[in-house]
Structure 1
Amino acid sequence: MAVKMRLQRHGSKKRPFYFIVVADARSPRDGKFIQKLGSYNPLTVPASIQIDRQKALEWLHKGAQPTDTVRRILSFKGVLYLKHLLRGVTLGLFDEATAMEKFTKWSTEHDSEFAKRQESHKKSKTTSRQPYVKRAERPSAAVKTESSTKESSGKAE
């Protein structure tokens, strides 16, 4: 039985919301699944992602194949990096404490970069919105009418 980690669509028309699930590759997209790992909402800015790292890691070790989008989500959340580090532990390249130390270092750096990106987005959103100001009477229109009346009176003489 081939097992896939994929997105299961929910939400209404043109308002998608996804669950990240582990399912048999032969089952329909929104059909039967084995286990729910988390959720993904692409409509929020930035997209909100909740995922259980331990469950996802277990399924990757069991051989579940993530789809392209789920692979990007797992990479963003650090699950694939954690799997990479744990592979180094099993090969004897370093111990588990070093692997966890590297992962926590990466995680804090990643979270700070994400917070900066989120803050810059909020700033750009507030600066791009400028209050609506009513236009005053155009002074150029008043000048044109005065000059045209002088010209017309000059032609009449």
Structure 2
Amino acid sequence: MPVKIRLQRHGRGKRPFYHIVIADSRSKRDGRFIERIGDYNPLSVPATINVDVDKAVNWMEKGAQPTNTVRAILSYKGALYLKHLRRGLRKGALTEQEVESKYQTWVSDHENAVLDKVREISKTKASEKQKVIDAEAKKREEKDEAKRAALQKEEAAANAEAQAAEGATEVAEAAPADENASAAEETTAAPAEEAAVPAEEKKTEEAPKEEAKAEETPAEAKAEETPAEEPKAEEGDDAAKEEGKA
């Protein structure tokens, strides 16, 4: 009967893992199988492969045909290389010790390559993780900077409002003082003006008096002159009388 080496699916919908089985090619994919020779988990990095290489080589030597995926897995684990070495052993080109030595050398080199790959993947992951951390740190720093800028802006606005309020208070306090000073000046100026008005009135009153005096002075002078002339007239009359008597 035709035999295949293939994968048999297990696990949940989005978390699959596979068994490597020897099964009749006419059976269903996940149906009955003849023998299980390993398992395969593709979700791990790197993929986890456990396979019995000797059993796989024996079945392939018997005519079992691996599927494409299983062939890649067996090549990765060295089963195809071991099959090639055993063919050389059967033909007499290699001894059993040479086959074992060559195979172990290949396994060692392969494991070192896998370890290098794992280290490279780990390094890449660490680098990506560091990039993510740096990006988050930068984002937090930018956020903190934006918060600080907003706080500074708010403080500046608050200071400006406080200064404006202080200025308004000073203006409000200075306005009554100016009004009081203006009122005091007006109050002081009013009595001065009132005092100036009586002074002007007094001057006005004194002016008519002086005019009256000026008018009275000629009359008095004439009055005084008139009595002086009368005695002269009287003297004339006396002289006339004395002449009559004589």
Q: Please indicate the TM-score interval, normalised by the length of the shorter structure.
A: 0.7 to 0.9
Q: 2:38 is matched with which residue?
A: 38
> Does 1:5 pair with 2:5?
yes
Gaps of 5+ in 2: 154-246
**Aligned runs of 1:45-84 on 2, under 5 Å?**
45-84=45-84
Out of 123-132 and 58-67, give the one that drifted further.
123-132
1:53 CA displacement: 1.1
Out of 18-27 and 128-137, give the one that drifted further.
128-137
Q: State the identity as a percent.
A: 50
1:55 CA displacement: 1.1
Gaps of 5+ in 1: 146-157
SS at match of 1:5: strand
Q: Which has the higher contact order (CA 8 A, sep 6+)?
A: 1
Task: From the two aligned structures, give the one with the greater helix fraction.
Answer: 2
> Does 1:23 pair with 2:23?
yes
**In structure 2, what is the Cα distance between the partners aligned to 1:10 and 1:82?**
29
1:76 CA displacement: 0.3
Instruction: For residues 48-68 of structure 1, give each alpha carbon's deviation from its aligned partner in whole angstroms, at most 9, with x where no partner exists.
Output: 000011111111111100000
SS at match of 1:129: helix
Q: 1:137 is matched with which residue?
A: 145
**In structure 1, what is the Cα distance between the partners aligned to 2:16 and 2:94?**
42
Give the letter aligned to residue 26 of structure 1. R
Q: TM-score, normalised by structure 2?
A: 0.56
**In structure 2, what is the Cα distance between the partners aligned to 1:62 and 1:34?**
14
Give the letter aligned to residue 119 of structure 2. E
1:94 CA displacement: 1.7
**In structure 2, what is the Cα distance between the partners aligned to 1:81 and 1:137?**
61
1:110 CA displacement: 0.5
**Aligned runs of 1:99-110 on 2, under 5 Å?**
99-110=99-110
Instruction: For residues 66-123 of structure 1, give each alpha carbon's deviation from its aligned partner in whole angstroms, at most 9, with x where no partner exists.
Output: 0000000000000000000000011111211111111111110000010010011111
Q: 2:164 is matched with which residue?
A: none
**In structure 2, what is the Cα distance between the partners aligned to 1:27 and 1:114?**
35
Give the letter aligned to residue 33 of structure 2. F
> Does 1:86 pair with 2:86?
yes
CA RMSD of aligned residues (A): 1.9
- Residues paired across the two proteins, number: 145
Give the letter aligned to residue 97 of structure 2. A
